[in-house]
Structure 1
Amino acid sequence: MRFCVCLSLLFLFLNINLKVFANGIGNLYFLEKQRFLLEILHHVHEPLMNDQWRLLGEKLVTDKEQYVVYNDHMAKFYRDFKLGKLLHRNVYYNPLYADHYEQTLGLYHFFYNTRDWYTLWQNICWARVHINPGVFVQALTQVLFKREDYQALILPKIYELWPETYHDDVTVSKARKFNFANWIRYENVSDIEEIHPQKMEPFNLEGDLRSSLEWFQAMADVNILRMKQPKKGKELYYLLEDIGWQSYWYNVNIGIVFTEESTSELQEWWYYQLGQLLARYKLERYSQKMSYKSLALEEDIKRPNHRFKLESPKTLRIIVDRLNKLEKKVGDAITFRSFQLNNGSFINLDVDTNWLIGLGELFPYDWTQLTIEKTSQPEILLDIRTSLRSENLYYYAERVLQSYRWYRQVFQPSNPKMFIPSDLRIDDMQISPLITYEQPVDVDLSNILHAKHFYLAGQFVWPFTLQQQQFRLQHRDFTYNLQISSNRTQSTIFRTFLTTSERGYIQREPFYQLDSFLTVIYPGLNRISRESKDFRGLIGDHISFTELHQFVKLAEREEYDFPLNISTPNCGFPRRLILPRGGRGNPLKMRLLIVATVYDFKARQGNELNCDFSRGISRWDELPLAYPFERILEEDSQSVEISGDHVYWKDVQILHEDYA
């Protein structure tokens, strides 16, 4: 049965992609789907006003012949719908609530298992009319991430779909009350102003879209309005409130959910990403001269007023209790070298790969396994869209990662000497100036505006866009150069980490991996140059919801060849956030660590940048992804992984400048 399902989906995939992917340009088949997707997600929190899609969405397709598989999740979902048991449209949605998750899973299968686009089309319209918007968006996002025949379709960024989740209450209130007709009538007397297209920030998008003639054609009929920037935040506000920082973690977790194969490799990747975020957060605290070596629970945190509140005392107690139980389980596993599985049986952790079984049960990485009790109001920590905004998350993450690394250090077989290259020495490293600055950027708030602005005589239109200008952390591109001596030809992997200027115990300092690359080293002197814009896994700025819609309309008029890479991958980390904010006047002193390892010819290429984990994740070799910091290292002088000719330490400084 599974083979037949896969074969059927393969034929469907080939049929769709022959039409859509020709020459990397979206044709009319693709553009029709893309425009529909943007219109159906427009003002997704409000009742659908498009009569065409409302008519198509009167009934869910229940004919089982129209699905590759009709499973129990679908049967239960439809039964609950008929009984009126599904989540009401106006109820706050959180997939960490068990019943919300089950409904999402059911709708997801009604989307994913469709045999053709027209069945999916009708089901999407039906769900848009009848189903809670949160359930609808979550299920649809999963399908577009996981169905290869639909992965070319572009979703608006999550903070454009739910702007009220990512912006403070003052901004949301102003946008909701905004009336375009009154704004024109009273000659723009407000803190919202119209700007010329050339004034949109940042002007340099990926692919130079905003400097193209086609962009001016696409935006010709759109009034670009800008809400004046709010007061700047202090301390860590600019990082924690950064929409790219928050949405990255949301997309990573969304991509992992519903992945069919639960693997230790995917678990390792998730904990590596969590470790990267924690290290990056600690480096920001270090740059602000705040304590960072050991985090503590924060109390009385003052943040801009948001719909989502800090975690309640009840939530805090539940999480701390779970952490205490985890740490005890890990301690017992290490002490007694055995572990009781969820099914009640015991395993010897020293036998074969039993330690991996214990690792999998002790440290879940799929957040849907962490169901919680329903809360009286949305809490930023308990919503995957906003969890990185909570400073307490990093305290919890630190405790989890300490247990994770301790367990791995005890049980994971390790022979780092096998990966230490011989006849190779890193002689020198030079790096261009590291400079950060605060960059203005316009963020699309159009989905907060009242939907009535976007319908004329029953037809969908997009007459204007409302942008909020924010200031965010950015850095100038930089280059570093390595000088390597070798006595033979060898394929080598280099990893570059950023850490503090402290010289204390190595395990107490955060190490954030900036770069990793594979190259061939030849006998003699080798010079290698790396550009920050080429670092793996990073993305630049993307096109907004409004612009994307206008480009689709232009392409439908055959005035533009719509490229399928017009948007940035959802699971790429923002390139602009890899450096902590530098010092004004007095530079921020830090260090770089470069580690060389032997290439074992086992590199693999995945598609995790696009939030697709079906083929696994990318990696250079079989070393742990966080190597050499996946475990607790000894002091510098005693740790073979970070001492010797194959490593190089470099003192660096980061400056912060005003934006020009």
Structure 2
Amino acid sequence: MRLSYLLSLISFLLQLCHNVAIFPGNIVNHYYLNKQRFLLEILHHLPEPLLHEQWLGLGQQIVTDKSQYVHYNDHMIKFYQLLSTDRLLPRDVYYNPQQPEHYQETVGLFHFFYNTREWSTLRQNICWARVFVNPGLFLNALIQTLMKRDDYRALIVPRIYELLPAPYHSEQVLREASRFNYANWIWQNQEQGNDTGVQLVLPKRLLPDNLSGGLRNTSKWSEAMSEVHILSLEERRQSKGLALLIEDPGWLSYWYYINMGIALQEEPTETDRLRDWFYFQLSQLLARYKLELYARKLEYRRLARVRKQEFTPLRTWHYQRYQLETEETLEYLSNLIEKLLIDVQEAISTQRLLLSNGTLIDLRHDQNWQLGLAELFPYDLSQLQMPSAKEAQQLLDLHTMLRDPRFYFYADRILYAYRSYRSAFQPNYRQLVRPTDLRILEVQVSPLITYEEPVDIDVSNLLHSRHFFFGNQFMWPQAMQVRKRRLQQRPFRINLQLESNKTQSIILRTYLTTSGGNMNEEPFYQLDSFLTVLHAGNNFINRESIDFSGMIGDHISITELYHYVRLAERDQFDFPLNITIPSCGFPRRLILPRGGATKGLSMRLFVLATPYNYRARQENELNCDFSNGVSSWDELPFGYPFERFVGDEEELHDAHTMWKAVEIQHEDRNTLIDN
């Protein structure tokens, strides 16, 4: 009984990092609020020159006193040399950390932020960089600092698609928002009637309602937003079909954040696990993309090279147009992947690999296969230096990379090489992970229903900054929202019945896949993995979709956050320690592909039980902190057993596994409301 209690406690504690909660009494003080307001005012209208007089005055000079830094390293010396000789990247140049010069400057500025001893030094350097440094480079270095400094991690950084909205929205939205004139709009409404693309939201309300902590559309929310005009901009071209997934800001920004978190790690611990985790995330994105292709009745097993694609014009943060990939880029990437495939095949056939330092290793000896994995499969994209990355191309920009169908073609080939290598050299875990004293008897799934819902996305940073300064005083009187439609699903439940011959703890993993086909060609998307305790006899386990690990819900917008901070500064609101959500969590609403409208989409659920070996570890990767590695339940590879090619299908058909046929239905919003 004591063991059962202990395991239950371990499970509860480990799940805390995956659930977003606001704890009563965890209220911030004015010192925190001053920092939070400063951060929001600095990040306001990033592409435009800073107009806030207080921060403008503080930002005239970078702190050069070396005693104000914990370390003053070579990166800082090189950055200051560029500054002293007027060779920093200009403010109006397209920024991409995959451009070698841009990357080196980013590292230098990051250390001028990260190594500061005091908040006052960091604040002055932030102000200076906001005034004089390229906005894209400045934001990259600042986000990196706030992710990696423990003492500043509590500060809330708004979502990247609110800070730099341009790459995430259509050219029509960008054009109408950036040209919006409130006085002219009022006159047009009075003289010509309400026929413009911008509408005043009355009564005040933003969608969705169900934010963590219940902080939207309440009486306190109305108080915070009392002086704000909420303006809704209608987007004429709504996303549909496959674009409903790959143009979703949550989908796009997830890839942005995990790459930002992994980049600029000084000496990461648990490097092997971090690499496994990164390639698992890449495989998850590819599997989820393929499941959407499957749902749309498109070819999904073998992705073909895209020869000609429909191109939706987008603009970067400083309104430069993105282009399709140049021939130079396509040739470079094709050669890079072709070399990888050849190197992997040669390593498999010869059982040897020549490392970059000139050492020839036997991949069968000891853990040398891990050395080969590190050599062949790097995972920090910011160090993938691309000669043509100085040009704005969708495939090479972290903001837009996942929009491009070629991304998934390249990912498919890279992951094929990755799985081939692991299949050849990875130790066989099969006997270690097969429980002998349990059986999965039954799996039941509540109705799986997807639908499209309206959502408001804050694009206030697209409005001209002149709308926010009155008598040289900064104010936030307007919030521009774009109303979009997005994919969503109703909460669902998985009920499991297991029979055990003893009290034991196990890990249960659930995967979603297609209705049939070759195991090594079908996509397997991991919905969940969790620790549970079995007792002798029959065990009934219920798992709610809202509790699936690594998933997050919706967040508060940049405008709402600012006005809540101002309300708290007037002692009219108890500001919780964190009223936003982790950046590196995957949007919970995107875990199911779009269901069938008239006939349900046929799919299967695969459930796998493995023993718990008491080696679970809790880390902070949901907050993009990879300094100590990543969370895991055991030492199995992430995505087990699909991180390699499954050679024996009996491995997936035993007492500790279960296949369950399921259907996903798609309903329109009106039907859901009626029900």
Normalization by structure 1: what TM-score?
0.95
1:652 aligns with 2:666: no
For residues 216 and 165 of structure 1, what CA distance do their matches in structure 2 show? 31
Contact 1:628 1:641 in 2 (8 A): no
Q: Unmatched 5+ residue regions in structure 1?
A: 1-20
1:122 aligns with 2:136: no
Contact 1:286 1:292 in 2 (8 A): yes
- 2:267 maps to amino acid: E
For residues 389 and 634 of structure 2, what CA distance do their matches in structure 1 show? 44
Q: Out of 562-571 and 28-37, give the one that drifted further.
A: 562-571
For residue 188 of structure 2, what is the aligned residue in structure 1?
A: 186
What SS is found at the alignment partner of 1:246? helix
What SS is found at the alignment partner of 1:69? coil
For residue 509 of structure 1, what is the aligned residue in structure 2?
A: 522
Q: Out of 336-345 and 515-524, give the one that drifted further.
A: 336-345
Deviation at 1:189, TM superposition (A): 4.2
Q: Out of 187-196 and 642-651, give the one that drifted further.
A: 187-196
Within the candidate set 576, 581, 588, 2:594 is matched to 581
What SS is found at the alignment partner of 1:604? coil
1:419 aligns with 2:461: no
Within the candidate set 626, 637, 643, 2:639 is matched to 626
**Cα-to-partner distance string for 1:351-404 (whole Å, 9 max, x where unaligned):** 211111111010000012210013574111101121111111111001111111
Within the candidate set 295, 298, 306, 1:298 is matched to 306
Contact 1:230 1:470 in 2 (8 A): no
- Structural RMSD (CA): 1.3
For residue 326 of structure 1, what is the aligned residue in structure 2?
A: 340
For residue 376 of structure 2, what is the aligned residue in structure 1?
A: 362
Q: Unmatched 5+ residue regions in structure 2?
A: 1-22, 316-321, 671-675
Deviation at 1:413, TM superposition (A): 1.2
Within the candidate set 86, 89, 93, 1:87 is matched to 89
For residues 301 and 140 of structure 2, what CA distance do their matches in structure 1 show? 37
For residue 552 of structure 1, what is the aligned residue in structure 2?
A: 565
Normalization by structure 2: what TM-score?
0.93
For residue 214 of structure 2, what is the aligned residue in structure 1?
A: 208
For residues 170 and 550 of structure 1, what CA distance do their matches in structure 2 show? 28
Contact 2:389 2:396 in 1 (8 A): no
For residue 226 of structure 1, what is the aligned residue in structure 2?
A: 232
Spell out the pairing of 1:308-347 with structure 2 (5 A cutoff).
308-347=322-361
Contact 2:99 2:389 in 1 (8 A): no
What SS is found at the alignment partner of 1:184? helix
For residues 221 and 163 of structure 1, what CA distance do their matches in structure 2 show? 24
Deviation at 1:168, TM superposition (A): 1.1
What SS is found at the alignment partner of 1:483? strand
For residues 651 and 480 of structure 2, what CA distance do their matches in structure 1 show? 52
**Cα-to-partner distance string for 1:494-520 (whole Å, 9 max, x where unaligned):** 000000002x21000000000111101
For residues 401 and 390 of structure 1, what CA distance do their matches in structure 2 show? 17
**Cα-to-partner distance string for 1:192-217 (whole Å, 9 max, x where unaligned):** 10113553211221221114321111
Higher RCO (CA-CA < 8 Å; seq separation 6+)? 2
Contact 1:439 1:659 in 2 (8 A): yes
- 2:649 maps to amino acid: S
For residues 445 and 112 of structure 1, what CA distance do their matches in structure 2 show? 29
For residue 14 of structure 2, what is the aligned residue in structure 1?
A: none
Deviation at 1:233, TM superposition (A): 3.1
**Cα-to-partner distance string for 1:326-364 (whole Å, 9 max, x where unaligned):** 111111111111111111221111121111111101000
1:591 aligns with 2:593: no
For residues 439 and 184 of structure 1, what CA distance do their matches in structure 2 show? 30
- 1:47 maps to amino acid: P
What SS is found at the alignment partner of 1:323? helix
Q: Out of 330-339 and 33-42, give the one that drifted further.
A: 330-339
What SS is found at the alignment partner of 1:233? coil
Contact 2:239 2:485 in 1 (8 A): no
Spell out the pairing of 1:181-580 with structure 2 (5 A cutoff).
181-187=183-189, 188-196=194-202, 198-262=204-268, 263-307=271-315, 308-375=322-389, 377-502=391-516, 504-580=517-593
Measured at CA, do residues 322 and 41 of structure 1 come closer, stay the same or move farther in structure 2, by a change above 3 Å?
same
Deviation at 1:300, TM superposition (A): 2.6
- 1:555 maps to amino acid: A
What SS is found at the alignment partner of 1:206? coil
- 1:266 maps to amino acid: L
What SS is found at the alignment partner of 2:462? coil
Q: Out of 301-310 and 64-73, give the one that drifted further.
A: 301-310
For residues 216 and 609 of structure 1, what CA distance do their matches in structure 2 show? 31
Spell out the pairing of 1:127-206 with structure 2 (5 A cutoff).
127-187=129-189, 188-196=194-202, 198-206=204-212
Measured at CA, do residues 657 and 303 of structure 1 come closer, stay the same or move farther in structure 2, by a change above 3 Å?
farther
Deviation at 1:231, TM superposition (A): 2.8
What SS is found at the alignment partner of 2:175? helix
Deviation at 1:423, TM superposition (A): 1.7
Contact 1:204 1:211 in 2 (8 A): no
